[in-house]
């Protein structure tokens, strides 16, 4: 069985499309676990109306209600705990799946005896959609390194994951860390896996139009979460038996994380970001020219120039 896990919070404009894409899956051995994190809108009533249109599916739908708002990380943990399937698939409630997504991911997992099966994304933006190719590597350790370097999609959504990888190794999202919670999980999931597989199709529709999503709202607090996530990853990979094998990767992940923070943070967080990982020699790393310029300006204390440069680059990309 596959358990599809869906957090619900303030997604009334999107939940119907998401739910219908789930209930119309071509794969039948599937349960749907929705976790209502005290949503303030009518998301749940909309979901309940949609369920009525699929009587054959209704008995496989569970809606779990939190008695207080706990945040995305806690909701993901609750969904995993309640899941009955051998495999789990996280789907955000403003996204949707192609109809054969679960069937293709599951059949690949069985055929290749894989613990994780990924796919490409179809990213939805105001100016249209584009395919994001997921750089997926069969070797778990190489894949973990690719995730740490952000060379592969670090999202936990859209990945079929053998549940025992999480439960047997005590892998849980950290409650309260609602930004970067997936980045904290996916490299560790890869590390404990035996084999990674991929379906080379854009099966997951990733909606970037929701202005209320976590990724659309990066505050000073969110930057603090991202920094804490990075530090927790460093602690984890420095204390594994083959830690020496990850040393260079961790240094690179810290520098990539610093650059990523500059790109998404408000200027009020720039001083804090500048002070990160000053002991790491980034000059020996393979970085793009724009990334090197950002780090040079940062090291020189020219954070306003960094801010202006990034805003100009974002304007050009629009």
- Statement to judge: residues 127 and 164 lie in one domain: yes
Choosing from 192, 214, 236, the residue where a domain stops is: 214
Half-sphere exposure (Cβ direction) of 18: Cα atoms closer than 13 Å: 27
- Statement to judge: residues 40 and 138 lie in one domain: yes
CB environment 184-207: b (16+ within 10 A), e (fewer): bbbbbbbbbbeebbbbeebbbbbb
By residue range, what is the domain housing residue 246? 218-317
- With 0.75 as the threshold, say if the pTM is over it: yes
Element (H, E) at 45: helix 43-52
- Statement to judge: residues 59 and 190 lie in one domain: yes
The pLDDT assigned to 215 comes to 46
The pLDDT assigned to 129 comes to 86
Whole-Å CA distances, 63 to 43, 48, 287: 12, 9, 46
The pLDDT assigned to 240 comes to 95
- Statement to judge: residues 292 and 312 lie in one domain: yes
- Statement to judge: residues 198 and 252 lie in one domain: no
Q: Which of 168, 230, 32, 193 is nearest to 118 (CA)?
A: 193
- Statement to judge: residues 53 and 127 lie in one domain: yes
Is 70 in a helix, a strand, or coil? coil
- Statement to judge: residues 189 and 266 lie in one domain: no
- Statement to judge: residues 182 and 307 lie in one domain: no
Choosing from 180, 214, 248, the residue where a domain stops is: 214
The CATH number given to whatever domain includes residue 67 is 3.90.550.10
- Statement to judge: residues 184 and 225 lie in one domain: no
pLDDT in tens, the chain (318 residues): 999 999 999 999 999 999 999 999 999 999 999 999 999 999 999 999 999 999 999 889 999 999 999 999 999 999 999 999 999 999 999 999 999 999 999 999 999 999 999 999 999 988 888 999 999 999 999 999 999 999 999 999 999 999 999 999 999 999 999 888 999 999 999 999 999 999 999 999 999 886 554 444 468 888 999 999 999 999 999 999 999 999 999 999 999 999 999 998 999 999 999 999 999 999 999 999 999 999 999 999 999 999 999 987 776 555
**Residue 300 has what DSSP assignment?**
T
- Statement to judge: residues 174 and 242 lie in one domain: no
Write the CB contacts of 275 (distance below 8 Å, at least 6 apart in sequence): none
How would you classify residue 180: left for phi > 0, otherwise alpha for psi between -120 and 50, otherwise beta?
left
Interatomic CA distance for residues 212 and 297, integer angstroms? 32
Q: What is the CA radius of gyration of the chain?
A: 20
- Statement to judge: residues 210 and 118 lie in one domain: yes
Whole-Å CA distances, 267 to 25, 34, 313: 44, 36, 15
Number of structural domains (the chain) is 2
Interatomic CA distance for residues 142 and 201, integer angstroms? 22
Choosing from 179, 214, 249, the residue where a domain stops is: 214
- Statement to judge: residues 232 and 171 lie in one domain: no
The pLDDT assigned to 94 comes to 95
């Amino acid at each position: 069985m596959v358990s599809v896990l869906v957090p619900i919070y303030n997604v009334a404009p999107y939940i119907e499309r998401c739910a219908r894409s789930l209930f119309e899956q071509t794969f039948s051995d599937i349960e749907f676990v929705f976790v209502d994190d005290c949503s303030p809108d009518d998301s749940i009533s909309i979901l309940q109306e949609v369920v009525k249109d699929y009587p054959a599916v209704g008995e496989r739908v569970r809606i779990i209600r939190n008695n207080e708002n706990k945040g995305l990380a806690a909701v993901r943990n609750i969904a995993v705990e309640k899941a009955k399937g051998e495999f789990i698939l996280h789907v955000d409630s403003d996204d949707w799946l192609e109809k054969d997504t679960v069937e293709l991911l599951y059949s690949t997992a069985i055929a290749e005896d894989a613990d994780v099966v990924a796919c490409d994304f179809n990213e939805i933006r105001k100016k249209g959609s584009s395919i994001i190719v997921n750089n997926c590597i069969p070797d778990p350790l190489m894949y973990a390194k690719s995730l740490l370097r952000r060379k592969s999609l670090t999202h936990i959504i859209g990945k079929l994951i053998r549940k025992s990888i999480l439960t047997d190794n005590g892998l849980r999202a950290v409650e309260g860390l609602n930004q970067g919670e997936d980045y904290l999980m996916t490299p560790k999931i890869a590390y404990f896996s035996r084999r990674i597989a991929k379906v080379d199709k854009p099966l997951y529709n990733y909606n970037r139009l929701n202005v209320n999503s976590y990724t659309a709202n990066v505050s000073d607090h969110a930057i603090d979460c991202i920094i804490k996530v990075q530090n927790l990853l460093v602690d984890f990979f420095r204390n594994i038996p083959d830690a020496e094998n990850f040393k260079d990767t961790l240094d690179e992940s810290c520098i990539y994380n610093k650059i990523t923070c500059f790109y998404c943070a408000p200027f009020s967080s720039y001083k804090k970001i500048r002070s990160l990982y000053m002991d790491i020699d980034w000059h020996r790393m393979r970085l793009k020219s724009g990334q090197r310029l950002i780090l040079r300006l940062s090291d020189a204390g020219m954070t306003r120039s960094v801010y202006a440069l990034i805003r100009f680059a974002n304007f050009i990309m629009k």
